[in-house]
A and B are shown apart, each in its own frame.
Chain A
Amino acid sequence: MLGLLLAQASDWITPVIDWHAVAPELVLVVGVNVVLLLDLNLADAKKWMLATLTGFVMLGALVPVVTLAVIGDDSRSLFDGRYVIDEYALILKAFFLLVAYVVILMSQTELEEGGYYQGEFYVLMLCSVLGMVMMSSARDLISIFVALELLSIPAYMMAAWRKRDVKSNEAGVKYYLLGVFASGIMLYGMSFLFGSTNSTLLTDIGAALTDGDLNGMEVVGVVFVICGFAFKISAVPFHTWAPDTYEGAPTPVTAFLSVASKAAGFVALVSIIFLAFPNASDVYQPLLWVLAALTMTVGNVLALRQTNIVRLLAYSSVSQGGFILMPLAFAGNSNAGGSALNAVVVYLLVYGFMNLGAFAIVIAVSRKTRSGEISSFGGLFGYAPGLAVAMTVFFASLAGIPPLGGWFAKFNAFRAVLQAETNAAYVLAAIAAVNTVISAAYYMRVLRSVWMDDAPDGDQSPVVTPSPIVAALGITVIGTIVVGVIPSAVTRFAELKDLTGAVVP
């Protein structure tokens, strides 16, 4: 027996590992362990150091991403093409690390003042970011599944972080149950994809699936996988968890879920659609079309009647998800495929800045008002003009008003859809245009309250904003404005050639 094993072992060839290519992940892994170890030995009064350290880990992981991008001659492929570091992966890794850094800035004071477990929080967050960074490179069903669970499981716990608060409990449990259910559905679809194509590698699946020749198993596989991810990106009708989870979870966690976790879902969806389903557009195109139309419409209509700012932002992020999904429905169109990829990635980058900024404002203001109602933002311009101006930038950008980033992102998405030049594309663009107008109504309602109304309790004392939140606001305001004024700063990212192996029929 042992002899047999040894004989087989001689055939073993050590895989060549490109250490530079996996350096961002390695930095994060080391960071997880260092933060965990330090947390055991630090006195409570010094726990604030962990936030700083975690921030440095994120920035440290950004260094190899930048050096890889600077060298950036070709894509690096590891483990037989199951883990690929190309420009598409690099820009998204940088995005996830930057988002995580901003979220740490936002959560630092909240965690200290709330008396929550700080060390564990940062460890879980690092794990979740590690999952996201892996997701950008994952090009195989197994690695996508592992990355998805690695980013989701810590997020379930972070949503339920306020242990004694029934709302936070409810947020965590709802997120968990629906999340696990959705990954079960997704896995069932993946098992059929594996069965019918005999491979877990996305590009092999893409070569095996061909339009007009899809059997029942393949159709079920494609539909179930997309439905599983539709939960992650809170697309209607899989969005029911989102408002409750967003409201109940601590606000910095909500910001993290609504930006980073959602973006990771989109990243997986993009990789799968462009690499594994390029020839299954007969199946996914109508499905994504319906999902996109429903998501933006239902999200917007429900957002109109919200009185709580976090719930409003939750429904707004559902409807923004519809706009990101819109170009993906035309990924299989030979005219629009390339711009669809670019539109999705640019929208994600811009959406990250403006949505994080909006949440940072909510955190800063609710430190004073202790309320989540929209009416509590009345008269904000009177006692905190800086916050009011920043809030105007974010909400105007979310509504898509030029010359802010959100405007350019929406413009790019519309352009990609119209390039498809089919009736379905024109109808979807028209639905999206109507939705842009509807969404302006509720964003402007909040801004009117900020600029026109008086403070509800007449309290004019200024808001004291802690410096980490000021830093987070600074980064997000600059990002939102720069993308709008100089769109060429981001448009060169994520062209079709940047995603290795992507083909548009």
Chain B
Amino acid sequence: MLAVNFLLLAAVLFCIGVYGVIARRNAVMVLMSIELILNAVNLNLIAFAVMNGNQDGQVFALYVIAIAAAEVGVGLAMVLMIYRNRKSIALDELSEMKG
């Protein structure tokens, strides 16, 4: 069955996403990496739905897509907010609080 290929692709996407979240300093790039993770999840869900012949996975994927859109909306608003206050979206400069 080809489904294994989809799972592998999803695993690769997931790893790229996690690497991006950890390594990137730019807030927008981190948001994009998180999108990669969520898309890896969607691929997984749909591959499993086809493999098992169970539509629940596709419904789950639709929920993930809708909620991810809401999340990114909030995230971009926050990035815009820090850009207005600091003229920069570099995450490593966000260190007002320590300890």
Contact = CB atoms under 8 A, between A and B. Distances in A.
B21 A181 contact: yes
Interface string B1-35: 00000000010001001100100000100100010
Contact of B57 (A172, A184, A194, A311): A194
A194 B60 contact: yes
A141 B60 contact: yes
Given A145-B67, A167-B97, A181 B81 contact: no
Interface stretch (A88-96, A153-161, A462-470): A153-161
A166 B34 contact: no
Interface stretch (A240-248, A360-368, A440-448): A240-248
B71 A149 contact: yes
Contacts of B63: 142, 145-146
A174 B74 CA distance: 13
A263 B74 CA distance: 23
A438 interface: no
A153 B44 contact: no
A173 B56 contact: no
Interface in B60-97: 60, 63-64, 67, 70-71, 74-75, 78-79, 81-82, 85-86, 91, 94-97
B81 A169 contact: yes
A100 to B, nearest CB: 21
A172 B60 contact: no
A243 B96 contact: no
Contacts of B60: 141-142, 145, 190-191, 194, 200
A247 B97 contact: yes
A481 to B, nearest CB: 33
Contact of B41 (A149, A172, A191, A306): A191
Contacts of A181: 21, 34, 37
A188 B41 contact: yes
Nearest to A172: B78
Interface in B33-59: 34, 37-38, 40-41, 44-45, 47-48, 51-52, 54, 56-57, 59
A490 interface: no
A184 B37 contact: yes
A141 B14 CA distance: 20
Query: Chain A: interface residue count, which band?
Result: 35 or more
Contacts of B64: 145, 187
B97 A180 contact: no
Interface in A176-217: 176-177, 180-181, 184-185, 187-188, 190-192, 194-195, 198-200
Contacts of B56: 142, 194, 199-200
A153 B82 contact: no
A191 B48 contact: yes
B49 to A, nearest CB: 8
Interface residues of B, number: 42
Contacts of A305: 99
Contact of B78 (A145, A166, A167, A176): A176
Given A142-B59, A176-B75, A166 B41 contact: no
Q: Give the most central of B51, B71, B95: most A CB within 10 Å.
A: B71
Given A153-B70, A173-B82, A180-B75, A167 B96 contact: yes
A283 B44 CA distance: 22
Contact of A160 (B81, B86, B99): B81
A110 interface: no
A188 B14 contact: yes
A163 interface: yes
A46 interface: no
A272 B42 CA distance: 21
Contacts of B10: 191
Contacts of B67: 145-146, 149
B44 A192 contact: yes
A170 B52 contact: no
Contacts of A492: none
A164 interface: yes
Contacts of A177: 21, 27, 30, 34, 75, 91
Contacts of B41: 184, 187-188, 190-191
A192 B91 CA distance: 31
A187 B61 CA distance: 10
Contacts of B79: 173
4 residue pairs, one from A and one from B, having the closest CB atoms: A195-B48, A184-B37, A191-B44, A187-B41
14 contacts: A142-B59, A142-B60, A146-B63, A149-B67, A163-B81, A172-B81, A173-B82, A180-B71, A181-B34, A195-B44, A195-B45, A198-B52, A198-B54, A200-B60
